[in-house]
A and B are shown apart, each in its own frame.
Chain A
Amino acid sequence: MAEQVLAADGTPLKASLNRALRRQKMRALVLILPLLLFILATFIYPIGQMLFRSVENGIVSETIPRTVVALDDWDTQENDLPPATVFDALAKDLAVAVELKEHTRLGSRLNYELSGISSLFRKTGRRVDDIGEIYTDQLVALDPAWEDPATWVTLMADPDWIAAQAAWDGEGDEPAFVVSATAIDMLPQTADIYADFARVIQSGDNDSPTEEEPWHIVSLALYQDLIASPSVDIPGPLAGLVSTAAAAAPSFETEDVIATFTDVDDDWQNPEVWETIYTYSPAYTNGYFLNAIDLQKTTDGIEWQPENEQVYLTLFLRTMIMSMTITISCILLGYPVAWMLANLPARKANLLMILVLLPFWTSLLVRTSAWKVLLQNQGVINDLLVWVGFIADDNRLALINNATGTVIAMTHILLPFMILPLYSVMQTIPISYLRAAKSLGATNWTAFWRVYFPQSVPGIGAGSILVFILSIGYYITPEIVGGTKGVFISNRIAYHISSSLNWGLAAALGAILLAIVLALYWAYDRIVGIDNVKLGG
């Protein structure tokens, strides 16, 4: 081993070098810190959030937690309806969700997977507060005390909470309801749903459980608890009330929850509805991604979407092919212009450069709309072609509302992004290379192709990457001139973000797009080499 080198002050040289470098790095960090924070806050974090939505699916297990647990035991292979416990659980979950107005959101979410669920949930939501009424009535008939909110509070609330609630002076919020351990132990289902009731009453309605009669579904839960443990022995003043109810419970008239649901809508008899709920009950799902590539999740595994609903693969493919077409058009049109720019005297080159940059001075929307005017069936270009006699008047070219329109308009709009990098690379290629090649005996073409062109490839690379990545995510222009045949995947993403509100699918589509771009970038690096990309000298 080499001996350790010491600096003048006796510390190891490495250590003092590191210290000096660290200070430099810190200074550099401080300089970029504002930008870094800005980008983190406005770019990285939102994009991360958005991408996270492509797998996140907490809404099902958060909105209908009891149902999700109950469905765990359901054997989907049997192709039967789930057992009554699942319907019970859903009734309870919906009772809570309806009060919180969350069932429609869940309905919309599941509607992405199976259309009709949204209205099913909405309909059911309107009827769910009747479920269990029959038990309330019978309990009240047994003893009117069941009508008194105080009875329920005494039965369900923790004594400490009762004391705190009594001491509360009405200022600010009521102390948050705490369910008693005894109730959880002896009447678990009742305690469970009553706790939710109290929470909703307190937070949602800003009311107090001490003043509100519980929902009918709580009565249902109590009935179930009493049936489950007939000899329940509640300590305290309500022991008699409860044991009387327990004794009477077996002779209660009962309600068939399944029938109630079916009565609301036959669809609850459709196993597909339950399969969808079951399939999308985990907190994370690959369902959005599968949908984004025209697949779907079923209880039998992953399958193709029905033929008439397969759109995304076609759209991805079309986006790729059209972006490549646009990129190639930009190269073909931009290369000669860049060459001119690079070889003209400075004054003329500047003038030409202004012309190249001119499109940036007008709004994208205006330019795209201008294309609409030009490319129309009765537009300027068609008129001109007819006038010149290239095409017949009754045989005008379809230049807009299809892929052709998108390619034409986008090539025009993205052309400067090809010309600028090409120009800055070409500017650094001295004319003497061409002269040298010619003096060595090469014809103009050979000199260009063997000597000039290879040196301009980094510019083509940079321009192509720019144009391709811009066009792959382009949205406004295809929207305006693309019709249905000329839209890109990004139009679909925009649709899901702003119209269908299926953000998860939009995020999955976006993530796939990002992955494709990164993959192409990687491929480009492997084939051409990324250090072969130059934006300037």
Chain B
Amino acid sequence: MALKIPILGGAGLSEAKSDTAFVEFERVQKSYDGENLVVKDLNLSMPKGEFLTMLGPSGSGKTTCLMMLAGFETATHGAIRLDGVSINNIPPHKRGIGMVFQNYALFPHMTVAENLSFPLEVRKIGKSTREEKVMRALGMVQMQDFAGRRPAQLSGGQQQRIALARALVFEPELVLMDEPLGALDKQLRETLQFEITKLAHDLGITVVYVTHDQTEALTMSDRVAVFDDGRIQQLAPPDELYEAPQNSFVAQFIGENNTLEGVVQEMRGDSCIVKLDSGDVIDAMPVNVSKVGERTKVSIRPERVEFDKSRLSPDAHTLKAEVLEFIYMGDIFRTRLRVAGTDDFVIKSRNAPDQVRLTPGSQIEIGWLAQDCRALDA
């Protein structure tokens, strides 16, 4: 499908910031009430064709960012650029941005076909072309048979497909989606996640996708921007986000994570020694700490914890642990331990033939590779 439409109606040119950036937020701030900044200092740059997800807890300002990009909210400060052109003063209907809303926002008084035809009509596209494009867009989401129905006669998943088709039918280069799958059940959500990514790839469109579901963010995106408190906490590809969180918020927000608190005792180049509050000493990799005596939260993924001493380096520090609970989860085992004064230290191990099943009450020793244990901000 060819995607060639002018995104902008000429107005408001400003200097192009970077050659590759398609969507650009520069030092954007937003306040609704003049007292609190909902978006504090947003800097973001997206190349064409990227699938970027804004992930963050509810109220962290994701929707606000999306609405500023779409033109329904104005930035209090800063510049938003599309294809190198500042769009601050361009009204929403001239931005040519496709949008999928959380509650679908399908027009209830129009049929599916009329809904899809709407953006083409307002662009004064001829009837035959319109019909052809509508059917093609419905085909993309496998909904050709439903053209004559009203939105109310469709299931949630079907409505979401139509909303998607409607956002794509006028061939925008940029599509925004605000928690589009939030109201659907798990299975449907997974199917649609796959379809959306595939469509976005096939069509080569740029997508800004908003969700609070981290699995969704990790599985769908090229890059994920983790939002908290009106700021991007980390912007990185999914694997990097998971493996190398830049701060303790990201570490805790993405995936399951064990956190221990302590003070840096010794710096050794790319590793360090942390003295926990319980008195135990562990190995860690300094990420957000730079000097001895700094408080830190160390973060370690449950699947990187070892309790088989033979797999650790001989000089690695270990911690004593008591097994509190063993949960059989099919593909993995989940074991809860009491470690260094906390009761919710979790380890996960693969369900392999030779895997040890820990029994509650037993005492073990655990350890890890220094690079798997990240010393982050306190």
Contacts and interface: CB of A to CB of B under 8 A. Distances in A.
B109 A455 contact: yes
A436 interface: yes
A436 B122 contact: no
A442 B109 contact: no
A439 B93 contact: yes
A529 interface: no
Given A440-B122, A442-B122, A446-B122, A435 B101 contact: yes
Contact of B72 (A430, A435, A446, A451): A435
Interface string A437-458: 1111111101100110011000
B182 interface: no
Given A432-B101, A450-B118, A439 B92 contact: yes
Contact of A441 (B93, B101, B109): B93
Interface string B154-191: 00000000000011001000001000000000000000
A181 B371 CA distance: 131
Contacts of B235: none
Contacts of A252: none
A284 interface: no
Interface in B74-111: 91-99, 101, 103, 105-109
A433 interface: yes
Interface in A407-445: 430, 432-433, 435-444
B119 interface: yes
A433 B122 contact: no
Overall SS of chain B's interface: loop
Nearest to A455: B109
Contact of B103 (A432, A440, A451, A454): A432
B98 A439 contact: yes
Given A433-B107, A435-B72, A442 B101 contact: no
A240 B267 CA distance: 155
Interface in B41-69: none
A439 B109 contact: no
Contacts of B119: 440-442
Interface residues of A, number: 19
A441 B96 contact: yes
A432 to B, nearest CB: 4
Given A442-B93, A455-B109, A437 B118 contact: yes
Contact of B118 (A432, A440, A443, A454): A440
A101 B167 CA distance: 85
B70 interface: yes
Interface string A354-385: 00000000000000000000000000000000
Contacts of A438: 71-72, 91-93
A442 B72 contact: no
B4 interface: no
Residue from the set A441, A444, A454 with the largest chain B CB neighbour count within 10 Å: A441
Overall SS of chain A's interface: helix
B123 interface: yes
Given A432-B101, A441-B96, A454 B122 contact: no
A436 B99 contact: yes
B70 A441 contact: no
Interface residues of B, number: 27
Given A430-B105, A433-B105, A450-B118, A439 B99 contact: yes
A438 B94 CA distance: 9
A437 B92 CA distance: 10
A443 B107 CA distance: 16
Given A435-B72, A436-B99, A441 B122 contact: yes
A127 B122 CA distance: 88
Contacts of A450: 118
A424 to B, nearest CB: 17
A432 B105 contact: yes
Contacts of B72: 435, 438
B329 to A, nearest CB: 39
Contact of B109 (A430, A443, A444, A454): A454
Contacts of B118: 437, 440, 442, 450
A438 B109 CA distance: 17
Nearest to A440: B119
A451 B93 contact: no
Given A441-B122, A450-B118, A436 B105 contact: yes
A454 B109 CA distance: 7
Contacts of B98: 439
B66 to A, nearest CB: 11
Nearest to A451: B107
A372 to B, nearest CB: 44
Contacts of A437: 107, 118
A432 B92 CA distance: 13
Contacts of B92: 435, 438-439
A175 to B, nearest CB: 78
A383 B61 CA distance: 55
B93 A436 contact: no
Residue from the set A432, A444, A447 with the largest chain B CB neighbour count within 10 Å: A432
A435 B67 CA distance: 10
Given A440-B118, A441-B96, A441-B123, A435 B108 contact: no
A439 B123 CA distance: 12
A403 B109 CA distance: 38
B73 to A, nearest CB: 10
Given A430-B105, A446-B122, A451-B107, A439 B170 contact: no
Nearest to A443: B93
Contacts of A446: 122
A447 B101 CA distance: 16
Nearest to A452: B107
Nearest to B114: A450
Contact of A430 (B70, B93, B103, B167): B103
A440 B108 contact: no
Contacts of A433: 105, 107
A432 B166 CA distance: 14
Contact of A455 (B94, B99, B108, B170): B108
Residue from the set B99, B118, B176 with the largest chain A CB neighbour count within 10 Å: B118
Residue from the set A432, A439, A443, A447 with the largest chain B CB neighbour count within 10 Å: A439
5 contacts: A438-B72, A439-B92, A439-B97, A440-B166, A441-B94
Given A441-B96, A442-B93, A442-B119, 8 more contacts: A433-B107, A436-B101, A436-B107, A438-B92, A439-B98, A440-B119, A440-B167, A443-B93
Q: Which 6 A-B pairs have the closest CB atoms?
A: A440-B119, A436-B105, A439-B99, A432-B105, A438-B92, A454-B109
